[in-house]
Structure 1
Amino acid sequence: MERASRCVALGPRTSALRRWLRRIGPWHWGEDARGRSPWAHGRVLVSLAVLTAGLLAFHSAVPNTVGRLGSLLETFLPWLGLAIPVLLGLALLRRSATALVTLLVPAAVWANLFGGLLLAEDPTAGRGTHDIIALQHNVSDENTDPAGTAAALIESAPDLVALEELTPSALPVYERALAADYPYHAVEGSVGLWSRYPLADVRPLDIKPEGIGEGWSRGLRSSVRTPSGEIAAYVAHLPSVRVRLNGFSSGWRDESAGLLGAAIAAEKQDKVILLGDLNSTVDDRGLAPVTSRMDSAGRGFAFSWPAAFPVSRIDHIMTRSATVTGVWSLPATGSDHLPTAARINLGR
């Protein structure tokens, strides 16, 4: 008797809910004020959905001839997916069934490109398969707490540490702070490499574009004798880019990337690790001379810049003849970049 009373009480509510669902459901929406069905309007939204899918799928077709718009798009490509929920909301407001169905296309393209990165494991939970942990950090030449930054990096216990934007005043601080845990280190210009394992054949890496004055030194190459075998480690800091009214200024960065890619191509050591601030993402065609020769796999977006609100991973750890099994960004230091760390399987 009690159950029957409860059913009677819920009956009107259930019926009202069903009527409401029928009213908002795209296949049950009635005609609009102009007498159009939900399948006959929302053409602008459909066009925007198709455009979003096209930019995601064929971003390389966007020309770089005017303001390097292609590179600018590719630098923030994952964020183009934000257009999908915005268009979804507009489609619901417009009651356009056609727009809703069309939105499945950009959603599928985005999921294919970046969905796997959402499955990133918690770096503090599991260790995965790896031989070494490498860490990359642009410490910023305006960092007021280099000692605190060094302590934060040591806490994550990497085997290799690459730093950029080392200044003459801050370098001794990093050298003292890292010496106990990393007895081997090399510095060339404003970049440095600290290691638990012996270094050999250290030399500067010439990635300076034409037009930049003397004294600009942002690259080094060193052999690292790890327990899993010898590897070549590259540390690089490519020139900065600027977004101006006339477009994306990346000429020096692209030229420097070409020099870096050529050096990696000429590297005789089979296993290579590249650590650096490349001032763009792996989707940017401007980095193609590097990304075409290196593997940047690893789950997780690991956005590293800007530290206050990271929207892009421009700090990279890439490999050749080795595998990145996990990548993540660390908590903020005194820099405008977040540190980036990666577990690497060197194989045998």
Structure 2
Amino acid sequence: MRGGGASGRSAWAERAWARGRVLASLAVLTAGLLAFHSAVPNGVGRLGSLLEAFLPWLGLAAAVLLAAALVRRSATALVALLLPAAAWAHAFGGLLLPAPPDRGAPRITAVQHNVSDENPDPAGTARTLLGPAPDLIALEELTPAALPVYEATLGPHYPYHAVEGTVGLWSKHPLTDVRRLDVKPAGIGEGWSRALRAGVRTPNGEIAVYVAHLPSVRIRSSGFATGLRDESARLLGAALAAERTERVILLGDLNGTVDDRGLAPLTSRMEPPRRGLAFSWPAAAPLARIDQILTRSARATDVRTLPATGSDHLPIAAHITLGPS
């Protein structure tokens, strides 16, 4: 009887390792996409950028595979799932850790928000943005009708502000050398003005602050349409490359995640926050952070979302450690 029992356990173990080979293959594929997403070609339908726009959600695919592996009682699949788990933890696990201590270094707080040109409550939106008492507030999709409301609500707290086209910056510190940036792609009509640059004189030195709203992207029958956004990102990247001020902060609706290769002209020159996922769009069910706070010669130690407003985006906020100038 004991021999039969051992034989039965051996047969069960053999079946456990034999089952779930398809699940194991899918687990390996998921790990490969997480670790080597840049190898996915972008030539046809911008598939690489589409994958990178929702890259963190591959962790959900791994969770579904785990449930299937448990149902199938597949040892092979369970072992294979260690690969996507490790790849996801390497890519995104650090974002879930607590923000590191600032150790007394000077810092400021910045808020970024696409307020929506269809926002029914600009005054309420402005009050929400005041919540974390930021030093800087960057807004996009400002309209002529809503702009006076934002100026009236934010003005008592922010004596300095600048607006160029549909983007604006409110600051607790004096602004210098404010100018419009030309990041308009070819083919877009005149009057399109969605980027500015301003110097900010903080108590800890000068910072160059950029506010930008890159063109929208669309999923069409031909694929992921990112051409206009990518061209605008290249123009903005060139402006950042020419910036002589050492410390730079970029605030904006970039219509892309920091993993999206279409934003490489920006992410190759600027650093994203080290903590926080802060999915900001769409506000009703956030799937991606396309609103960004990026830095150079400064460090955004964390990023988080603020309560929903009348926009289809959530506001985001980050603490930025300045360090020596």
Q: Same fold (TM over 0.5)?
A: yes
Task: Say which one has the larger Rg.
Answer: 1
Among residues 258, 282, 288, which one is paired with 1:312 in the alignment? 288
Partner of 2:111: 135
Equivalences for residues 199-238 of structure 1 within 5 A: 199-238=175-214
Alpha-carbon offset, residue 339 of structure 1: 0.6
Instruction: Give the distance between the partners of 1:283 and 1:258, measured in 2 at CA.
Output: 16
Are 1:299 and 2:297 counterparts?
no
Amino acid in structure 2 at the alignment position of 1:265: A
Instruction: Give the distance between the partners of 2:98 and 2:287, measured in 1 at CA.
Output: 17
User: Conserved in 2, the CA contact under 8 Å of 1:224 and 1:233?
Assistant: yes
Among residues 13, 27, 34, which one is paired with 1:49 in the alignment? 27
User: Conserved in 1, the CA contact under 8 Å of 2:160 and 2:175?
Assistant: yes
User: Conserved in 2, the CA contact under 8 Å of 1:273 and 1:318?
Assistant: yes
Q: 1:246 to 1:127 in 2, by over 3 A?
A: farther
Partner of 1:112: 90
Instruction: Give the distance between the partners of 1:170 and 1:29, measured in 2 at CA.
Output: 72
Are 1:62 and 2:40 counterparts?
yes
The secondary structure found in structure 1 opposite 2:302 is: strand
Partner of 1:187: 163
For each residue in 1:1-30, what CA deviation from the matched residue of structure 2 results, as whole angstroms up to 9, or x when unmatched?
A: xxxxxxxxxxxxxxxxxxxxx9xxxx9684
Partner of 2:18: 40
Across the aligned residues of Structure 1 and Structure 2, the Cα RMSD in angstroms comes to 1.9
Number of corresponding residues: 317
The secondary structure found in structure 2 opposite 1:155 is: coil
Instruction: Give the distance between the partners of 2:76 and 2:198, measured in 1 at CA.
Output: 57
User: Conserved in 2, the CA contact under 8 Å of 1:29 and 1:38?
Assistant: no
Alpha-carbon offset, residue 37 of structure 1: 2.0
Among residues 139, 160, 163, which one is paired with 1:163 in the alignment? 139
User: Conserved in 1, the CA contact under 8 Å of 2:105 and 2:323?
Assistant: no
Among residues 244, 254, 269, which one is paired with 2:230 in the alignment? 254
Instruction: Give the distance between the partners of 1:307 and 1:187, measured in 2 at CA.
Output: 25
Structure 1: runs of 5 or more not aligned: 1-21
For each residue in 1:237-263, what CA deviation from the matched residue of structure 2 results, as whole angstroms up to 9, or x when unmatched?
A: 000000112210000000000001110
Amino acid in structure 1 at the alignment position of 2:232: S
Among residues 244, 247, 250, which one is paired with 1:271 in the alignment? 247
Instruction: Give the distance between the partners of 2:252 and 2:271, measured in 1 at CA.
Output: 14
Partner of 1:103: 81
User: Conserved in 2, the CA contact under 8 Å of 1:50 and 1:105?
Assistant: yes
TM-score by length of 2: 0.94
TM-score by length of 1: 0.88
Equivalences for residues 73-84 of structure 1 within 5 A: 73-84=51-62
Instruction: Give the distance between the partners of 1:129 and 1:346, measured in 2 at CA.
Output: 7
For each residue in 1:167-222, what CA deviation from the matched residue of structure 2 results, as whole angstroms up to 9, or x when unmatched?
A: 01000110111111001000000000000010010000111000000000000000
Instruction: Give the distance between the partners of 1:271 and 1:136, measured in 2 at CA.
Output: 18
Stretch of structure 1 that moved more, 38-47 or 251-260: 38-47
For each residue in 1:43-80, what CA deviation from the matched residue of structure 2 results, as whole angstroms up to 9, or x when unmatched?
A: 21111011001100100000011100000000000001
Instruction: Give the distance between the partners of 1:210 and 1:204, measured in 2 at CA.
Output: 17
Instruction: Give the distance between the partners of 1:89 and 1:257, measured in 2 at CA.
Output: 40
